[in-house]
Structure 1
Amino acid sequence: MAAKATEKTNKRDFLNHLETYLSKRDGVDKLLKISRYATKIIIASSLIPETTGSLIPRLKSFESSVGVSRKAFRLGKFVQDINALRASRWESNHELVLLLIAYGGEGFYYFVEQFIWLTKSGLIDAKHSKLLQRISAWAELIGYVGSVSLKIRDLRKLKDEENCVASTIEISVSRGMAYEEEDEKMKKIKEKKTLKGLSIFQDLADGLMTIADIRDGKGMLSAPNVISSAGLFSAIVSTHKNWISC
Structure 2
Amino acid sequence: MEQPTKPPSSKPPQRDFLTHLETYLAKRDGVDKLLKISRYAAKLILSSSSLPLSPSQKTHLKSFESSVGLSRKAFRLGKFIQDVNSLRNSVIDSAQDLILIVLAYGGEGVYYFIEQYVWLVKSGLIDGKDLIFMQKISAWCEFLGYFGSVGLKIRELKRVGEDERCLVSSIRVSGLRGIGCEEDRMRLRKVREKKMLKRLSVVQDLADGLMALADIRDGKGRFTGPLVLSSAGLLSAVISTHKNWLSC
Smaller-chain TM-score range?
over 0.9
Residue of structure 1 in register with 2:3 after alignment: none
Q: Deviations over 1:116-154 (max 9, x none)?
A: 001111122122211111010000011011100000000
SS at match of 1:126: coil
Aligned counterparts, 1:148-227, within 5 A: 148-227=150-229
Unaligned runs of 5+ in 2: 1-5
Residue in structure 2 matched with residue 232 of structure 1 by the alignment:
234
Aligned residue among 41, 44, 56 for 2:47? 44
Q: Letter of the 2:102 partner, please give it.
A: L
Alpha-carbon distance in 1 for matches of 2:19, 2:114: 35
Letter in 2 for 1:34: I
Please state how far the C-alpha of 1:50 moved relative to its aligned partner: 4.9
User: Counterpart in 2 of 1:93?
Assistant: 95
Q: For 1:182 and 1:242, how far apart are their aligned partners in 2?
A: 27
- Does 2:6 correspond to 1:25? no
Cα deviations by residue, 1:11-62 (Å, 9 ceiling, x for unpaired): 211111111111111000000000000000000003444545x311000000
Counterpart of 1:72?
A: 74
Could you tell me whether the CA contact under 8 Å between 1:36 and 1:66 is conserved in 2?
yes
Structure 1 residues 42-51 or 196-205, which shifts more?
42-51
Q: Does 2:84 align with 1:82? A: yes
Q: Which runs of 4+ in 1 moved over 2 A?
A: 46-52
Greater share of residues in helix: 1
Checking the alignment, whether the CA contact within 8 Å between 1:21 and 1:27 is kept in structure 2 is yes
Once the 2 structures are TM-superposed, how far is the Cα of residue 178 of structure 1 from its aligned partner? Answer: 0.9
CA RMSD of aligned residues (A): 1.7
Q: Residue 221 of structure 1: SS of its match in structure 2?
A: coil
Partners of 1:178 and 1:17 lie apart in 2 by 35
Aligned length: 240
Mapping for residues 110-129 of structure 1, pairs under 5 Å: 110-129=112-131
Shift in Å, 1:98: 1.2
Task: Write the distance in 2 (CA, Å) between the matches of 1:55 and 1:46.
Answer: 14
Q: Distance in 2 between matches of 1:187 and 1:167?
A: 14
1:176 partner amino acid: G
Identity %: 60
Residue 89 of structure 1 deviates from its aligned partner by: 1.1
Q: Provide, for residues 57-88 of structure 1, a one-character-per-residue CA deviation record: whole Å limited to 9, x for no partner.
A: 00000001101110001110000011112122
